[in-house]
Amino acid sequence: VAEALLVIEVAIAGEETRISFEHGLLGGHAIDETGSPLPPETLDLLSHSDAILAGAVGGPKWDHLPFERNPGPGGLLRLRRQFDLFANLRPARALVPGVGLFPDFDLLIVRESTGGAYFSLQKGSEGIGPDRRAFDLIEYTAAQVERVLAVACNLALGRGGRLTSVDKANVLESSRLWRDVAEEVCRRYDGVELEHMYVDNCALQLVLAPEQFDVIVTENLFGDILSDQAAGLVGSLGLLPSATVGFGDFGLFEPVHGSAPDIAGKGVVNPVATILSGAMLLRHALGLGSAADRIETAVERVLAQGHGTAEVVGSGESLGTRQIGELICAEVGALAEAGDGA
Ligand code: IPM
Ligand code: MN
C-alpha cells in the first residue's frame, strides 16, 4: 500500500485534482488494536471518502475467529456489503513477457459480490455427530442479477463487446434465473454479444484457451474461484488488481491476493497488484484516466525490462517491494514529463 500511494502521488502530480489520504484500520491489525475487523472509526472515515484503497487483510493468527470477527468475512465482505459494492471487477491479462501460461490474453471477470452463498440469510450449522448439518443457501433475486449484468454489459461495450455469462443452469435454479435475466438485460445492449457457459466448462476453457474470453460475468462463489484461476494464467497472484464498485464512482480497490503471511514484513512482497489497484481507483473513482494509463504503462515497462519480485522472475535476480515501487515511480514520472498518457 505504501508503494501504491507513492506511485499515485507521482501519477497525479501534473493533474489539477489533489488527493488527501486518510488512513484507517481494517482486518487483522484492526482486530489487534480495537477488537473489530472493521471498527466504527474506519467505517466513518470511509463513508466520507471518495474511494477506498485496501491492503490485503488476514492471516493465520485470526483464522479461528468466528465470521463476524474474522478479517475476511467481518472486514472485507462487510465492507462490500455496507457500501453495496455489488460488482467485483478482476482484470487478468498477459502482463509479463515469458511469465504466465499464455502469451496473449486479456479478460475481465465481473464477479457479483454482495449476494449468493456468501451473504445468504439461510446460513447455519446445527446438530451434532453424523447428524450435524450446515448450509449456505445460494439465492439471487432478479434485481441483483440485473444490476451486475448491466455493469458487465457496459464494460463489454468499452472492450471487445463479447460477454460470457457463467452459471450452472443445468443443475441450479439460481443459475436458471441468472441465465434468464442475463438474456433480458443483454437484449437492451446493442453491441453486446452474449454467450452462456457452464462453470465447469469455463474452468476448463480458461486453462485451454483464455484468449477466447473478453468479459466474464458470474455469481459470487463461481467468480471467487475463477478469478484465482485467471490469476494463475497471468503467472502470479501478486500482479492482479481489483475494483469493487456499485452504481456510483465510489469503490473499494484492492489486490486480488491475500496477505501472504509467510513473506509479510520482509520487504519482498510484490507491490504491483496494489499499485494497479491504485490505477483502477484513479480511473474509476476519480475520473483520472490518463494518470491511470501512466501507471499501467509504467508497470508494463518495468516488468518488460525483466524486473520483478521473486515469484515473477523465477531464477533471475529479484527485487524487493521498495525497489519495484521506486522503478515504477520513476517510470511514471518519465511518462508524465513526456506528456504521454498512454
Ligand atoms: C477474495 C477473497 C475473499 C472472498 C475472502 C478473503 C473473504 O478470497 O477477495 O477473493 O472470498 O471474496
Ligand atoms: Mn478469493
Distance between CA atoms of residues 101 and 229, nearest Å: 11
For the question of residue 228 being annotated catalytic, the response is yes
pTM of the model: 0.95
Query: Based on C-alpha coordinates, what's the Rg of the chain?
Result: 20
pLDDT band at 135 (very low <50, low <70, confident <90, very high): very high
Nearest ligand to residue 113 Cα? 1
User: Of all protein residues, whose CA lies closest to atom 12 belonging to ligand 1?
Assistant: 224
Distance between CA atoms of residues 294 and 292, nearest Å: 5
Q: 241-287: per-residue pLDDT in tens?
A: 999 999 999 999 999 999 999 999 999 999 999 999 999 999 999 99
DSSP string, 17-57: ----------THHHHHHHS-SS-HHHHHHHHT-S-EE----
Q: Calculate mean pLDDT across residues 150-171.
A: 98
106-112 β-sheet, strand order: 52-53, 251-255, 241-245, 87-93, 106-112, 215-218, 162-167, 193-198
User: Of all protein residues, whose CA lies closest to atom 11 belonging to ligand 1?
Assistant: 224
How far is Cα of residue 163 from the mean position of the Cα atoms in its chain? 18
Nearest ligand to residue 56 Cα? 1
Q: 79-122: per-residue pLDDT in tens?
A: 999 999 999 999 999 988 777 888 899 999 999 999 999 999 89
* Ligand 1 residue neighbourhood (C-beta within 6 Å): 72-73, 76-77, 224
Q: Which residue has the higher pLDDT, 98 or 198?
A: 198
Portion of the chain with pLDDT greater than 90, in percent:
91
